[in-house]
Amino acid sequence: MAKKNKVDVKKKKPASQWYDKATVKVKLGEVDVYVKKPTNVYSPDYALIDETIEDIKKSSRKVCTLDYATNNVYVILQDALKKVRLAEK
């Protein structure tokens, strides 16, 4: 039998231009936490918007386990879409 090599999977650190690093003390030690920086209001940052949309997709898949929750998420997203469309006016 051949041995399978273990592959170390390292999490990518977020781009420093979008995140601030903070250290939080917990019972077992310290944990690095990355907090999103606010975007510049005078220049569009589509990468951060796209990342937020992807986060919403992932979270909605986890939350939408029942019909009621799925309907609530749908209503919230429809309301958000209306607000996005109003932002250009």
- Residue-wise pLDDT tens digits, 16-47: 555 677 777 777 777 777 777 666 666 677 88
Q: Phi and psi dihedrals of 6, rounded to 5? A: -80, 140
Tell me the average pLDDT of the chain. Answer: 77
The domain in which residue 55 lies consists of 19-87
Judge whether 33 lies within some domain.
yes
Q: What is the pLDDT of residue 22?
A: 74
Q: What is the pLDDT of residue 7?
A: 47
Which sign, positive or negative, has the C-alpha torsion 70, 72, 76, 82? positive
Where does the pLDDT of residue 82 fall: very low under 50, low under 70, confident under 90, or very high at 90 and above?
very high
Report whether 35 contacts 22 (CB < 8 A). yes
pLDDT at 74 over 90: yes
